[in-house]
Amino acid sequence: MDVFISCNGMDPNWIVGHIFKDLQFELIKNGIQCSFGSSDEYNNQEICFHVGWAYSKPELKANKNFLFITHLDDKLKEKHILSLKDSYDGFITMSKSDADYLYTLGFDKDKIHGIDLPVRNKYIKPLSLGIFSACYPDGRKNENWIIDFLSNKNLNKYLNLIYIGPGWGNHIRQLEKLDISFEWHCASRNLKSEYEFQQRKLINLDYYFYLGDDGGAMGTYDAYANNIDLLITNQSYHKSIPDARYRFNNLDEFTLNMEEIINKHIKKVNFFEDKGIESYTHMIINIFRGQKNTTVFKNINHKHQKINSKRILSSINRKFYKLFNIKY
């Protein structure tokens, strides 16, 4: 298979341009020849994938022409895309709902492929949980609850625990055995601007948690002031804090809250893995190879923005571009 990605009318440095450069790289990784450029760089490739749909023309020498569609948001664009529905072998949209939209307009369902736009993020911020408190030999902070929870689960690729306060050495050594990422800042009370130092660490947390049933922690107020979610014992002045979603009275309730928080983050990690360019590329390859479309489409209601002078001028510009084959 030999593919040409045509970017006519589209700034290749726009985010969509970067996505399709990523696609080019992945296609080549999968053993498929692939070039990227404007239409005058087309060189008889078997498949032409047009990513600037409003400015595109089918390449007559290509075995198949596919059109990537973005921004159908006014009546002029609707009329334009309808004029193209019989000119291409396939239409690839940015989502399933966008594919439903084309189906509603009367496109051949076997030519429509709704694939969610791929993500470009490679770094997914680990879930940062922080405890700002001293730790004591008598276990009053219930820190063993954390170890017990983590010991039965393989969570080392999701978490980073952040501690500020003295006395956490033994606890940290247990985290090391579990291969859990952590930061421990044992700040001296004589450290210049010690409180501000703690605040700078606190604002990067996703959750502030306090497990002790010993009256509460002032750090809870700081976390609440910085819009950080709280996972706290339901005691003392903690009770007066509005909208603290994760409260617990015992170990069982703490465990249930932790499971909800962790599972929510795992869903996010899985989302970015499933929506990566690698997965997107394999779906594109299957479309290029003519895999049967089994998608069930539905008719949907859609509303367009009012057409203003700027949109009309943009439409005229597209027509001149195509008429005179002007390069972007």
Same domain, 222 and 131: yes
How do residues 129-147 score in pLDDT, each as one tens digit? 999 999 999 999 999 999 9
- The enclosing H or E element of 181 equals strand 181-185
Same domain, 267 and 290: no
Same domain, 266 and 285: no
CA 198 from centre of chain: 30
Going by their DSSP bridges, the two strands 90-93 and 112-114 should be labelled as parallel
Same domain, 312 and 185: no
CATH code for position 10 = 3.40.50
Same domain, 254 and 290: no
- The pLDDT of residue 89: 96
- The pLDDT of residue 317: 58
- Say if pTM beats, i.e. exceeds, 0.85: no
Degrees to nearest 5, angle at CA 96 with 90 and 101: 75
Same domain, 252 and 308: no
Same domain, 309 and 209: no
Same domain, 111 and 157: no
- The pLDDT of residue 312: 57
Q: Which residue has the higher pLDDT, 304 or 87?
A: 87
How do residues 144-198 score in pLDDT, each as one tens digit? 999 999 998 899 999 999 998 999 999 999 999 999 999 999 888 888 998 898 8
User: Is pLDDT above 80 for 322?
Assistant: no
Q: Among 3-17, 215-229, 239-253, which stretch is predicted with the lowest mean pLDDT?
A: 3-17
Packing angle, helices 96-105 and 75-82, rounded to 10: 70
- 129: tokens are 């949980």
- The pLDDT of residue 79: 85
Same domain, 252 and 185: yes
Same domain, 73 and 187: no
Nearest to 38 by CA among 11, 60, 8, 66: 8
Same domain, 265 and 138: yes
- The pLDDT of residue 328: 45
Residue 100's pLDDT band (boundaries 50, 70, 90)?
very high
How do residues 17-42 score in pLDDT, each as one tens digit? 899 999 999 999 999 999 999 888 99
Residue identified by tokens 């009012």 is 306
CB neighbourhood size of 218 (10 A): 9
- The pLDDT of residue 75: 79
Rounded CA separation 189/117 (Å): 50
* Sign of the CA dihedral with 277 first, then 279, 284, and 285 last: positive
- The pLDDT of residue 321: 52
Rounded CA separation 110/242 (Å): 53
Mean pLDDT of the chain: 89
What is the extent of the structural domain holding 240?
127-273
- The enclosing H or E element of 257 equals helix 251-274
Same domain, 154 and 64: no
User: Is pLDDT above 60 for 233?
Assistant: yes
Q: What percent of the chain has pLDDT over 70?
A: 92
Q: Which residues pair with 63 in a beta bridge?
A: none
- Mean pLDDT is highest, among 12-16, 87-91, 304-308, 318-322, for 87-91
CATH code for position 181 = 3.40.50.2000
Q: How many domains does the chain have?
A: 2
